[in-house]
Amino acid sequence: MSGQVMPCAPDEISSLFLFEKLTPEQLGRLCAEGRVERFEAGPVYTEGAPATCFYVMIEGTVVLSRRVGADDVEVGRTSQRGVYSGAMQAYLGDRVPQTYNNSMRVTERTRFFVLPAQSFADVMREWFPMAAHLLEGLFFGSRSTQQAIGQRERLLALGSLSAGLTHELNNPAAAAVRATESLRERVGKMRHKLAVIAKGPYSREALAELIEIQERTAERVAKAPVLSPLEASDQEDRLTDWLDDHGIQEGWRVAPTFVQAGLDTDWLDHVAATVAEDILPGAIGWLNYTVETELLMDEINDSTTRISHLVDAAKQYSQLDRAPYRVVDVHELLDSTLVMLSGKFGPRVRVVKEYDRSVPDVPAYPAELNQVWTNLIDNAVFAIGSTGRDGTLTVRTAREGDRLLVEFRDTGPGIPADIRSRIFDPFFTTKPVGEGTGLGLDISWRIVVSKHHGSLQVESVPGDTRFQVLLPLTAAPESDEDDEEPA
């Protein structure tokens, strides 16, 4: 944008606090290389455009804004004489992208002293060489520190997730090992029982009946209903009475296994009617081993399926075998993150999914979105835990116009109004020392806003805090360079 060029008076620009210590020769050079420019109300420059000029306001009112998703958010408004903006990093040269990091407009007729970016860079290096070096060190040192701590934040999260995943994998793995050992024992007893039956006075027909009953019993195990504790207890009492009435010793040991397998007194009546009375005790023992074997194989199957599910979730979470930028189903990312963090929930956190499965897939960096979900879920779980009471984490998706909403809602104590504006600041944390770096929300904001051109906002009252991520349904990938704030 350009305004009306006006004469540059050294006396006038010397009254601006940036230039009040300059010599007449220096002021003359500024006026020779720069200019005074008057703008009517409207835009002066736009965020992301090549940074060609350094602006110092002589009189008027300026408004600075930053782009957040599809919106321009005002970050500053002032009429203070001498304020400056524009190509403030020109002295760094091509070591950083030379673009405007905000937008500037004026609300009334406003005059600026305007210095071309190259002239600003030249005078910084010539007139303030030590200051330029200090600023360079501050800029690059701050960026390196932030990158290092950001990497540390990611490693801490990965370590926490790995510990949780190890714990989650250990449970089904240990269950599978125990079930396998028990299965080996039961199969050994079945072989022994089979040998006893084979040597007994059983006819070919009786053996065939036993085998047929065994097959049908195995089928019932696969279809066993899930009973409440009270229903199971009542059923055990009925089966124990039946076994005692039919001369089966220690029937109370067998009854719980039969109940778990879905067997009832009607089924036992059928068994008793099928086999001869003298072989009924042996048949019941044989069926007990059959049931135990089937139940143990189900347990092994459940455990190994759980392990496979956890491994798939870890693979989905890490995105190691996927393209860094692609179109994704956000629900797959959310589910994998919830599985990875499930070890942190404990009995006091109830997770509710309110997914709108009709929303379309979105173009994204899935591994980085998983990091956002991790940070927001972890904060929600911490908030719920701080109350000392049971709470609910609700993960909701919905379509809002041309954007996808992903909302994380917790029933924690809420975020106090006096710190709400600071929660996205780097290194700001409410967690105890050693439990948080204060970069989780800052990193999340950068990933959502800078990398995906989305928005990240929070609404909070006691008992209802909502972090809302809005992602464009169509977007172009950003470069991998970190978007840094000006030093």
Q: What is the rounded average pLDDT of the residues 152-165?
A: 56
* Selected residue with higher pLDDT from 96 and 86: 86
Confidence (pLDDT) at 156: 53
Per-residue pLDDT at 276 exceeds 60:
yes
- Whole-structure pTM value: 0.46
> What fold, for 4-127?
Jelly Rolls (2.60.120)
Evaluate the CA torsion angle 421, 427, 430, 431 in order and state its sign.
Answer: positive
Beta carbons within 10 angstroms of residue 175's beta carbon = 17
DSSP H helices, 319-439, are: 330-345, 366-386
The Cα–Cα gap between 372 and 378 comes to 10
* Selected residue with higher pLDDT from 245 and 144: 245
Provide CB contacts within 8 A for 7, sequence distance 6+: 36
* Selected residue with higher pLDDT from 313 and 267: 267
Per-residue pLDDT at 31 exceeds 70:
yes
The residue extents of the domains of the chain are 4-127, 162-306, 323-472
Q: Which residue has the tokens 């589910």?
A: 335
Percent of the chain with pLDDT over 70: 75
Tokens of 49: 């455009």
Confidence (pLDDT) at 170: 65
Kindly report the backbone phi and psi dihedral angles of residue 45, in degrees, each rounded to the nearest multiple of 5, phi listed first. Answer: -150, 165
Alpha-carbon distances of 265 from 140, 239, 240, 382, rounded to whole Å: 79, 6, 10, 50
Tokens of 378: 């972890």
> What fold, for 323-472?
Heat Shock Protein 90 (3.30.565)
Nearest Cα neighbor of 33 from 119, 102, 117 is: 119
Per-residue pLDDT at 94 exceeds 50:
yes
Q: Which long-range contacts (CB under 8 A, 24 or more apart) does 394-397 make?
A: 394/351, 394/352, 394/353, 394/354, 395/334, 395/338, 395/351, 395/352, 395/353, 395/354, 395/355, 396/354, 396/355, 396/356, 397/330, 397/331, 397/334, 397/354, 397/355, 397/356, 397/359
Q: What is the rounded average pLDDT of the residues 11-17?
A: 88
Confidence (pLDDT) at 350: 92
Confidence (pLDDT) at 434: 42
Provide CB contacts within 8 A for 123, sequence distance 6+: 26, 29, 30, 115
* Selected residue with higher pLDDT from 69 and 453: 453
Beta carbons within 10 angstroms of residue 139's beta carbon = 19
Percent of the chain with pLDDT over 90: 16
Provide CB contacts within 8 A for 333, sequence distance 6+: 316, 317, 366, 369, 370, 373
Confidence (pLDDT) at 341: 80
Angle between helices 129-199 and 330-345 (to 10 degrees): 80
| Beta pairing, strands 84-86 & 110-116 | unpaired
